[in-house]
Structure 1
């Protein structure tokens, strides 16, 4: 007889063997990198004389839609708010919910919106083209995008190019375009299947996905001339930059203590205040969207001032204001001073002191440059000047440091009560600001070159690794530039084509049909903009080629 122990052992062995033979899904294996493949579509690609109520795409695997409302580009324009996108197993369904135009070619470009379920691989070159008439429109509009003020790494994500029929009453700021294209990662674009006609062209960064430009916050550009498309249009250039088109205006005015405030909706780039006694009896400051006018003493009558404001896009505001300067028990604000501490210099030490209020007097005996514990250079009146005598809120001090002083750190010192403002307030805290003197042998000798493909006047800027302008030239004639005695570092060279010679960059103004002034950079080997500068170096032939202007580059055939 078989013992009970043997029976139990046999049963246990059978259970173990069965467990080992059990099948399971593999835990590893290669990653699926194959994108979904389109098997069929309804309507079929390149179909004629069709007005579908929906579009159905069938793939070889289960698929999903990612951000379809933004990722799927439909041209020409339809009401995308009525379109319904859905994914069911291996199918994508697009319900249009609207009547399509007659004799029109429609393009549904799914870009990277359709992905497989397993690894989110996007379907490649997924585009369905059909016509509600008896022919497919085949004209193209293509070119390249450039940024006048690019980020550290040029990013073309969300940049769109659009065409509007010339008789369309909308534009890029009011409605989505009739034809639309997404810019690729290299800054190129191509709108396909365009109907023969006349159009207006725009490009913009659509950060919020509205399919139109927000002029306050989004880079944009536009072509001034009407674009006649009766054949393929190539070599189109757009140069994007920001331009806030909100006209400058005065929001309100009121007294502040015995002073008078004007509150603005935005900061002007140029402010002109006129009064016969301005700079003598009255002074003003302009900061943080506010103009504050200070009297030396209260006034019983309202005082007229002519005010002229200019904003960055060229809008102006000219008006007469009547200011009241009544006696007040309100305690005046404290006098605050901000020096440009931390700057380096070679021979001339340039100090800037920024005040929050106009300064009326300075005690020179408590203002000096210290370079040793017991050694200093006194500041004399001829070393100082206010940038604007009607404001007296920015004091410039230039001190020539002799080469015989072999010191590295020089410190501006101002005791408390050195400065008195228009309200009789003294600086309560002493001022101390350090500046470092550079050695000649540690400086680069020169960076020089030519500007090509453009006409003066120019503003040429040397920009450090922080993006700050460390040196600037205004060139009225000729195309040569030269920066001398440069501190070592990594820089960029930027040129502004200052068309109107006002010594500043002027952005575009769509309402005035004025494009932005061109901005372009030195580009070296391997398409790099950075220039490395070392002590004792001279960098020649740093030639800067202008970016093509906005518009269509016409090719000239040889006769």
Structure 2
């Protein structure tokens, strides 16, 4: 009361067994401090290597002591490390003791081998400081992995991704890193980013320089959970979101149509009722798993009220010479009333949208529509409004948009734009996807390179951007994530970085500028070249692992 604030961490007075003890198999660990202490989330926060059954462990406090009852037999000839992190704190201000760690061995020596390196995200993150990143080693004989159980050895990476696992016994291991947001000590594949080193690592000396790139990769089963009739539609409910959809039927886009909403695919038929038709469907998820099946879609008579047509608008708000508007619909589109689809550019002047300006980017998917208009030089106005009156769009159930839709676009002045941005990617690998990305993570310009490693962008709006290159190794014109079961790393992503500014990735572009920029490849995931000798030549991570 009234005294100075307690800013001192608890001081360790004694610990049993003693740090560095040999040939000991304690059933209880007792830690004594110079002041009263408390523990917070000990079963989550205390990192113990090698792995023990933490759910059987009991942790309690008695004034200035912490008592840990292990309630299990420890392994023979094994070095154990208890890293208490910030579990133990004083009861007044919550100050944790600094770097409190207990090391002892159940055998005659302390294992001293280390495994160290760095973890980072493959893609740019809003928060540059890493948090809750763990790295783990699994014994090669272990039947679990990062998605199924905690590792044998574990360590936490710091805010810049550096890590070290200490006191490892000689052996062969599989290595993983992951973002452990829920403190489960393993990765949740549907929500958490993770990474791995493909090959078995033989640790018989200190290993340094390991590199992990975190990405999401959902390896759960990809399947059709159920099919059902909703009204006069036929629905497929999937276990995961499909990134590619291929539907084969002789009536496709004549009488048979489809739409997608998250993990649901809905089939429509404009004439078939109380009967079925054969439909071949091929679906692909984000890790490359496929569903290839033939089913009989049945369409029933129904008095169910039809869903209203919903329309979302998009497209780049700023343009140079071509106005590009995007429309997305919740149901396949049947027709457009062009009389009520116009572009306004002052209080009185309008341009009627022409049919040859309108197209579906995917001819089989009638839920996405583009309107592209090349603005004549004779029109000097800067602001243009695309307007669709009510009842402009008709879906295949003859429902229309009930409200007027308007979207405004701005024509940029040529003299305010960057004249030319040359981006060279210093790698012989092709194809390359080069992208300029704004701070809202939207791609504002993109080029696909198949014969050269240099992209040239013109007329870029001034601003601060990220510029990146994706190596499209499977030539499908998009980035693909990892697949641990198929021994496949994610496709490389390289960012333009400023080595003189702590590798800052911000690129400033100003009007009238001509820039020549070079993107350097990042090193590959795994061990550095000088450590590759520690990878057994014939040991590979297999499907079971």
Range into which the TM-score falls when normalised by the shorter chain? over 0.9
Q: Which residue of 1 aligns with 2:513?
A: 537
1:375 is aligned to 2:331: no
In 1, Cα distance between equivalents of 2:269 and 2:44: 56
- Closer, same or farther in 2 for the Cα pair 1:294/1:43, shift >3 Å? same
Alignment of 1:503-518 (within 5 A): 503-518=477-492
In 1, Cα distance between equivalents of 2:12 and 2:221: 51
Q: Which residue of 2 aligns with 1:10?
A: none
In 1, Cα distance between equivalents of 2:431 and 2:352: 40
The CA deviation at 1:413 is 2.2
Q: What whole-Å deviation, never above 9, does each CA across 1:211-267 have from its counterpart, x for those lacking one?
A: 111111111111111110010010000111111222222222223333322222222
Select 1:213's aligned residue among 172, 187, 190: 187
- Closer, same or farther in 2 for the Cα pair 1:164/1:465, shift >3 Å? same
Q: Which residue of 1 aligns with 2:201?
A: 227
Q: What whole-Å deviation, never above 9, does each CA across 1:31-77 have from its counterpart, x for those lacking one?
A: 44333332332211111111111122223333332332222211111
1:142 is aligned to 2:116: yes
Kindly indicate whether the alpha-carbon contact (under 8 Å) linking 2:316 and 2:325 is maintained by their aligned counterparts in 1.
Answer: no
Q: Which residue of 2 aligns with 1:318?
A: 292
Q: Which residue of 1 aligns with 2:538?
A: none
Q: What whole-Å deviation, never above 9, does each CA across 1:327-384 have from its counterpart, x for those lacking one?
A: 3333322223222267111101112222222222223233221112221222222222
In 2, Cα distance between equivalents of 1:341 and 1:272: 25
Kindly indicate whether the alpha-carbon contact (under 8 Å) linking 1:262 and 1:291 is maintained by their aligned counterparts in 2.
Answer: yes
Kindly indicate whether the alpha-carbon contact (under 8 Å) linking 1:460 and 1:474 is maintained by their aligned counterparts in 2.
Answer: yes
Q: What whole-Å deviation, never above 9, does each CA across 1:178-221 have from its counterpart, x for those lacking one?
A: 11111112211111111111011111111111111111111111
The CA deviation at 1:150 is 4.3
Q: What whole-Å deviation, never above 9, does each CA across 1:397-423 have from its counterpart, x for those lacking one?
A: 111112221212111122333333222
Kindly indicate whether the alpha-carbon contact (under 8 Å) linking 2:207 and 2:531 is maintained by their aligned counterparts in 1.
Answer: no
Partner of 1:365: helix, strand, or coil?
helix
Kindly indicate whether the alpha-carbon contact (under 8 Å) linking 1:341 and 1:434 is maintained by their aligned counterparts in 2.
Answer: no
Kindly indicate whether the alpha-carbon contact (under 8 Å) linking 1:282 and 1:390 is maintained by their aligned counterparts in 2.
Answer: no
Select 1:442's aligned residue among 416, 440, 446: 416
- Closer, same or farther in 2 for the Cα pair 1:391/1:451, shift >3 Å? closer
Q: Which residue of 1 aligns with 2:536?
A: none
Q: Which residue of 2 aligns with 1:452?
A: 426
Select 1:526's aligned residue among 501, 504, 508: 501
1:77 is aligned to 2:51: yes
The CA deviation at 1:119 is 3.1
- Closer, same or farther in 2 for the Cα pair 1:198/1:422, shift >3 Å? same
Kindly indicate whether the alpha-carbon contact (under 8 Å) linking 2:224 and 2:236 is maintained by their aligned counterparts in 1.
Answer: yes
Stretches of structure 1 that go unaligned for 5 or more consecutive residues are 1-24
1:128 is aligned to 2:102: yes
- Closer, same or farther in 2 for the Cα pair 1:262/1:508, shift >3 Å? same
1:551 is aligned to 2:526: yes
In 1, Cα distance between equivalents of 2:72 and 2:112: 24
The CA deviation at 1:465 is 1.5
Q: Which residue of 2 aligns with 1:475?
A: 449
1:115 is aligned to 2:89: yes
Partner of 1:526: helix, strand, or coil?
coil
In 2, Cα distance between equivalents of 1:253 and 1:225: 41
Q: Which residue of 2 aligns with 1:14?
A: none
The CA deviation at 1:300 is 5.2
The CA deviation at 1:472 is 1.7
Kindly indicate whether the alpha-carbon contact (under 8 Å) linking 1:248 and 1:315 is maintained by their aligned counterparts in 2.
Answer: yes
Q: Which residue of 2 aligns with 1:364?
A: 338
The CA deviation at 1:299 is 4.0
- TM score, norm. by length of structure 2: 0.92
- Closer, same or farther in 2 for the Cα pair 1:121/1:344, shift >3 Å? same
Kindly indicate whether the alpha-carbon contact (under 8 Å) linking 1:408 and 1:438 is maintained by their aligned counterparts in 2.
Answer: yes
Q: Which residue of 1 aligns with 2:539?
A: none
Select 2:324's aligned residue among 350, 359, 362: 350
Kindly indicate whether the alpha-carbon contact (under 8 Å) linking 2:273 and 2:300 is maintained by their aligned counterparts in 1.
Answer: yes
- TM score, norm. by length of structure 1: 0.90
In 2, Cα distance between equivalents of 1:556 and 1:234: 8
Kindly indicate whether the alpha-carbon contact (under 8 Å) linking 1:215 and 1:244 is maintained by their aligned counterparts in 2.
Answer: yes
How many pairs align? 530
In 1, Cα distance between equivalents of 2:262 and 2:49: 44
Stretches of structure 2 that go unaligned for 5 or more consecutive residues are 533-545
1:185 is aligned to 2:143: no
- Closer, same or farther in 2 for the Cα pair 1:278/1:81, shift >3 Å? same
Q: Which residue of 2 aligns with 1:15?
A: none
In 1, Cα distance between equivalents of 2:108 and 2:480: 48
